Amino acid sequence: QITLKESGPTLVKPTQTLTLTCTFSGFSLSTSGVGVGWIRQPPGKALEWLALIYWDDDKRYSPSLKSRLTITKDTSKNQVVLTMTNMDPVDTATYYCAHTSFMITFKPFDYWGQGTLVTVSS
Amino acid sequence: SYVLTQPPSVSVAPGQTARITCGGNNIGSKSVHWYQQKPGQAPVLVVYDDSDRPSGIPERFSGSNSGNTATLTISRVEAGDEADYYCQVWDSSSDHHVVFGGGTKLTVL
Closest CA relative to residue A68, chosen from A49, A87, A92: A87
How are beta strands A48-54 and A18-25 bridged, if at all? unpaired
3-state per-residue secondary structure call for B21-81: EEECCCHHHCCCEEEEECCCCCCEEEEECCCECCCCCCCCEEEEEECCEEEEEECCCCHHH
Restricting to A residues 7-66, those with a Cβ less than 8 Å away from any Cβ of B are 37, 39, 46-49, 52, 60, 62-63
pLDDT value for A105: 84
Among candidates B88, B95, B96 on the partner chain, residue whose Cβ is nearest the Cβ of A108: B88
Mean pLDDT of chain B: 96
Looking at beta carbons, which residues of chain B come within 8 Å of A63?
Answer: 1, 94, 97
pLDDT (tens digit, 9 = 90+) per residue, B75-105?
999 999 999 999 999 987 767 789 999 999 9
pLDDT value for B94: 66
- Among chain B, residues having any CB pair with chain A shorter than 8 Å are 1, 31, 33, 35, 37, 42-45, 48-49, 54, 86, 88, 90, 94-103
- Residue A60 per-residue DSSP state: E
pLDDT digit of tens for each residue in chain A (122 aa)?
999 999 999 999 999 999 999 999 999 999 999 999 999 999 999 999 999 999 999 999 999 999 999 999 999 999 999 999 999 999 999 999 999 998 888 899 999 999 999 999 99
